Amino acid sequence: MTPFLFSVGIDAFGVAVPKTFVSLTKLAQARGVDPQKYLGGLGTELMGIAMPDEDTVTLAARAAHQALESSNTRPEDIGMLVVGTETAVDHSKPVASFVQGLLGIGPRCRVFETKHACYGGTAALQLAADWIRSGSAKGQKALVICSDIARYGLHTPGEPTQGAGAVALLISSSPRLLALEPGQSGLCSMDVHDFWRPLYSKDALVDGHYSVQCYLDALSGAYADYQANAGTTAAPGTLFSDRFAAFAYHVPYGKMARKAHRQIRTLDGDATPDESFERLVGASLRLPSLVGNIYTGSLYLAVVSLLDATKGDLTGQRLGLFSYGSGACAEFFSAVVQPGAQAAVQALGLSATLARRRELSIDEYEAVMRTREALDEKPLDAAKSAFAFQGIAEHRRTYARPS
């Protein structure tokens, strides 16, 4: 029996970030903290902040729109639409249904939302990949969108690790960007309270240092499971992780990826585990350091960054990918870069998109944070830009449709 009939993977990416950001240097100064703690100690420079007309739906729709446009994909080609998020806008109606309406995706489509903290997007990706491999997709593609607004309280240790954004992944057979390696995946899940958000709270609660340890424990477990499933061992004189040309880890902040890489190399027996960090991980952290944590999309923003910023040709090379969701579920898996993938990502013009954002002063940022509770009762206004959140009437959220 041939277990996998198709090569399945990512055919296109789309990325959306908020229109505004905060400088962590200025936030540190305002909080009386040495800026080097945020820049070097955490590894983040700028943090995306969603404005009142932006939410998980608007970011998801914009990212998905870019993925469909850049790959000339028609709405009717989509047979599965899933949004992975931990900051949904409704307890019942999924973000995916709002996106379906905004993008004009037709009724013959399986539309739903997945949640497992930052792992929700990866859960959707693997589900979509299995749907295609099973043959049930019948030539259709899946649109998986990871969209979140990472929010902690003002003046909390988590405050400098916020961010917002969405990454859309178009999943197909014969993928143009990244082919997932069938069966090359390792899992580790456990019931822990490292990071969570009670139903009564808009802000996440976190046991910060414990969450770092949970991430690293889950990485060790998932990496060991990957090795057991890979069906191969390290060639003589090499480390197992030498089989990867580069890595993208879940990035709540850049330093966490450094800790993750050190962990993998140490497990492999590397006596100088930091030496390979810049070469194998550096490119993946460029965009995350300018956007902050975007929860479900963080790993995929790191992947996009890796393809965007790597100078050499990665075609045919294997990437090691690590997804972590608090609570916790983690997966280490791998994918092979397809010809033209780097050029396709560079054509998205993400550096220019980031450069167009407006900087918020710390006063403006705090004002935006304080008004967020009231947004659940925001009256309708006639916001004009495509996909903007317009407000709520009769308990129904309304968004501007593209013209």
Residues at the site binding ligand CAA, with contacts judged by CB under 6 A: 34, 36-37, 40-42, 118, 157-158, 161, 195, 206, 208-209, 211-212, 215, 250, 252-253, 255-256, 293, 295, 324, 326
By beta-carbon proximity to ligand CAA, the closer residue of 62 and 250 is 250
User: Which of 54, 65, 116, 118 is an active site residue?
Assistant: 118
* Closest separation in Å from C-beta 130 to ligand CAA: 25
Shortest distance, CB of residue 198 to ligand CAA, whole angstroms?
Answer: 15
User: Which residues is 186 bridged to in the sheet?
Assistant: 332
Which of 45, 54, 65, 86 is catalytic? The answer is 86
Query: Is-catalytic flag, 155?
Result: no
CB 398 within 8 Å of CB 392:
yes
Q: Least separation, in Å, of the C-beta of 195 and ligand CAA?
A: 5
Of 45, 146, 188, 250, which is the active-site residue? 250
For ligand CAA, the closer CB: 36 or 238: 36
- Backbone dihedral region of 48: left (phi > 0), alpha (psi from -120 to 50 degrees) or beta? beta
Q: Which CB, 11 or 331, lies closer to ligand CAA?
A: 331
We find the least distance from the C-beta atom of residue 113 to ligand CAA, in angstroms, to be 18
The reply to whether 250 belongs to the active site is yes
For residues 346 and 313, is the Cβ–Cβ distance under 8 A? Answer: no
Considering beta carbons, is residue 193 or 255 the nearer one to ligand CAA?
255
Chain-centre distance for alpha carbon 113: 15
Residue 209 annotated among the catalytic residues of the structure: no
Q: Which residue is nearest to ligand CAA (CB)?
A: 41
Catalytic residues: 86, 118, 250
